């Protein structure tokens, strides 16, 4: 079936129906950008590539590419501390993945495993991420199993204190058509990166170059995070439209066309 790309008006329609105010107590609980989450599970608002395994990979890549000294075990502890314990760590696979000890069901983590150097990682880094989360899973970290194929209708970059549930029925030629969006929650990602930068400096998980502090680390996360997001979107869904959805405090929003992947 041909992919249906969403127009700006379609996205506005989806957001109007699917927006919800973020519960501040859940703001650091993550999920993947993956478009296959069900609305019914009320997926976490903080959407980023690969959920928490993706976040750990992002931190390690930042250390490699910026020349920061990294203590991997302490980095993992910092991530656990920021989310509020092992049982708040989130990851996912999908029903196509036969090998339950890998993250092949997550498009982002699969790309990292195939081509670590593209993401600024070594093979050893990827193995550390996989083994850390395998262990975390046995200590009640949460793994969601997603189903079906990606619909690849659009990407939305969300800004503000609202989240968007990813599934929606559009009226097309008198028919109801199920559409799903990939999401990246810029505001929550930035908030958590500030908290992570603070925690990593406090617990010596990362040692920066002299004269640099939390702000430098925060900016480096933003830089590497954008690379990781775009790298994975290009390999999963080239040509998909990208929109920014910016909320004000009342939940009113503006949708801006940012071009295509």
> Do residues 96 and 147 make contact, with C-beta atoms less than 8 angstroms apart?
no
The span from the CA of 258 to the CA of 244, in Å, is: 7
Question: Interacting stretch for Zn ion, rule CB under 5 A, among 30-38, 64-72, 148-156, 228-236?
Answer: 30-38
Q: Is residue 32 a contact point for Zn ion (CB under 5 A)?
A: yes
The pair of three-digit structure tokens given for residue 139, joined into one six-digit string: 């200590």
Burial 128-145 (b: 16+ CB within 10 A, else e): bbbebbbebbeeebbbbe
Q: What is the footprint of Zn ion within residues 197-226 (CB under 5 A)?
A: none
Q: What sign has the CA pseudo-torsion 128, 30, 25, 249?
A: positive
Least Å distance, CB 106 to Zn ion, is 3
- Tokens 């890549």, residue located: 61
- The least distance separating Zn ion from the CB of residue 99, rounded to whole angstroms, comes to 16
* 108/192 with CB nearer Zn ion: 108
Report the SS3 class of residue 186: helix
> What size, in residues, is the chain?
261
- Least CB distance to Zn ion at residue 228 (A): 12
Residue 155 engages Zn ion in binding (rule: CB under 5 A): no
Count of positions on this chain that bind Zn ion (CB under 5 A)? 4
Output the smallest distance, CB 68 to Zn ion, in A: 26
Instruction: Please select the residue that binds Zn ion; options are 13, 14, 22, 34, rule is CB under 5 A.
Output: 34
> CB-wise, 143 or 214, nearer to Zn ion?
143
C-beta closer to Zn ion: residue 112 or 200: 112
Segment interacting with Zn ion, rule: CB under 5 A, options 25-33, 117-125, 151-159, 231-239 = 25-33
Q: Is residue 92 within 8 Å of residue 29, measured between CB atoms? A: no
Q: What's the min distance (Å) between Cβ of 67 and Zn ion?
A: 29
20 forms beta bridges with: 163
Angstrom distances, CA of residue 193 to CA of 86, 147, 148, 185, 199: 18, 29, 31, 12, 10
The CB-of-1 to Zn ion minimum distance in angstroms stands at 22
Residue 223 Cβ vs Zn ion, minimum distance, rounded to whole Å = 21
Candidates 29-37, 68-76, 134-142, 241-249 — which segment interacts with Zn ion by CB under 5 A?
29-37
Query: 38: exposed, middle or buried (C-beta count within 10 Å: 0-12, 13-18, 19+)?
Result: middle
What DSSP assignment string belongs to 30-61? EE-S-TT--GGG---SEE-TTHHHHHHHHHHH
- 58 part of the interface to Zn ion, by CB under 5 A: no
What x/- string results for residues 84 through 123 when contact with Zn ion is judged by CB under 5 A?
Answer: ----------------------x-x---------------
* Binding positions for Zn ion, rule: CB under 5 A: 32, 34, 106, 108
């Amino acid at each position: 079936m041909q992919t249906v790309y969403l127009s700006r008006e379609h996205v506005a329609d989806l957001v109007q129906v699917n927006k919800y105010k973020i519960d501040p107590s859940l703001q650091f609980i993550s999920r993947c950008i993956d478009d296959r989450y069900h609305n019914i599970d009320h997926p976490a608002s903080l959407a980023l590539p690969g959920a928490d395994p993706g976040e750990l990979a992002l931190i390690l890549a930042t250390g490699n590419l910026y020349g920061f000294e990294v203590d991997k075990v302490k980095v993992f502890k910092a991530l656990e501390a920021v989310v509020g314990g092992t049982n708040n760590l989130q990851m996912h696979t999908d029903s196509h993945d036969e090998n339950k000890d890998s993250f092949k069901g997550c498009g982002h983590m699969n790309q990292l495993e195939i081509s670590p150097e593209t993401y600024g990682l070594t093979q050893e880094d990827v193995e550390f991420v996989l083994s850390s989360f395998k262990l975390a899973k046995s200590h009640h970290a949460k793994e969601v199993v997603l189903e079906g194929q990606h619909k690849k209708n659009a990407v939305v970059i969300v800004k503000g204190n609202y989240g968007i549930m990813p599934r929606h029925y559009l009226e097309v030629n008198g028919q109801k058509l199920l559409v799903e969006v990939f999401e990246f929650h810029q505001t929550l990602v930035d908030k958590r990166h500030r908290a992570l930068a603070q925690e990593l400096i406090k617990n010596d998980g990362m040692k920066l170059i002299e004269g640099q502090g939390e702000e430098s680390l925060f900016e480096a996360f933003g830089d590497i995070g954008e690379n990781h997001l775009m790298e994975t979107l290009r390999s999963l869904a080239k040509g998909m439209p990208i929109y920014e959805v910016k909320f004000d405090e009342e939940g009113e929003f503006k949708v801006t066309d940012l071009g295509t992947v």
